[in-house]
Chain A
Amino acid sequence: QSVLTQPPSVSGAPGQRVTISCTGSSSDIGAGSGVHWYQQLPGTAPKLLIYTNNNRPSGVPDRFSASTSGTSASLTISGLQAEDEADYYCQSYGSSLTDYVFGSGTKVTVL
């Protein structure tokens, strides 16, 4: 059902780097309005992690970074920590026709 495709899960040991991919199309990511990333801890609402490709809201650690190219985007967590264990979602906006779309979500496990 989700429009943007993400891997179901990724894992890494503390201190390692993990990358989550997000694949869309010319109707959403490729439309150029930016890709945003959210972190969702169990039982809580998603929290904005990265906005407009690679900008961090105040309070988000700089170990989180993202990039966008064409119809795909990626989120990188450098120096993985135990508290990073959560679900991560990408999101974009296409047009008034496609509106807001979300990724399928990726569960990050810290080994």
Chain B
Amino acid sequence: QVQLQQSGPGLVKPSQTLSLTCAISGDSVSNYSPTWNWIRQSPSRGLEWLGRTYYRSNWFNHYAVSVRSRITITPDSSKNQFTLQLKSVTPEDTAVYYCARSSGNFDFDYWGQGTLVTVSS
């Protein structure tokens, strides 16, 4: 059974960097089949896919156009986890952030518990 456990601060100041980690159990971040994703949800933007990382002999990342200039997703094979960094945050980045696994079907079959991140001074 795959489980995703999120950790990270719930409050970030404007202009600073949001950082969240997703620890994986029951699967491996470096497996060939799945991709490892970050998704956020807010009343104004709904569910929004932010980006993914995956291993196919090399590491690859893909990011949503809306955050491409500010986002980095980093895998850590030694700890079997992956991390989201979103820099230069504004109050518009306030949302519940989820990590999620995507299978070969392009769905999201396992989700983390969610982290409410508030951007406020």
Interface check A101, CB cutoff 8 A: yes
Interface check A12, CB cutoff 8 A: no
Interface check B114, CB cutoff 8 A: yes
> Chain B interface secondary structure, helix, strand, loop or mixed?
strand
Interface check B111, CB cutoff 8 A: yes
Known contacts A45-B98, A101-B49, A102-B46: A36-B111 contact under CB 8 Å: no
- How far is B39's CA from A102's CA once the two chains are assembled, in angstroms? 10
Known contacts A45-B98, A45-B111, A45-B112: A36-B47 contact under CB 8 Å: no
**Which single member of A33, A92, A96, A102 contacts B48 (CB below 8 Å)?**
A102
Known contacts A1-B44, A1-B45, A2-B46: A48-B106 contact under CB 8 Å: no
Residues of A within 8 A of B111 (CB): 45-47
Number of interface residues of A (CB under 8 A): 26
- How far is B37's CA from A40's CA once the two chains are assembled, in angstroms? 18
Residues of A within 8 A of B108 (CB): 36, 38, 46, 48, 91, 100
Q: 1/0 contact trace for B88-121 toward A, CB 8 Å? A: 0000000000100011011111011110000000
Across the interface, do B109 and A48 meet the contact criterion of CB distance under 8 Å?
A: yes
Residues of B within 8 A of A96 (CB): 62
- Which of B37, B103, B107, B109 gathers most chain A CB within 10 Å? B107
Residues of B within 8 A of A64 (CB): none
Known contacts A33-B106, A36-B106, A48-B109: A89-B62 contact under CB 8 Å: no
A-B contact pairs, 11 of them (CB 8 A): A1-B44, A1-B48, A45-B112, A45-B113, A46-B108, A48-B107, A48-B108, A91-B107, A91-B108, A100-B49, A100-B108
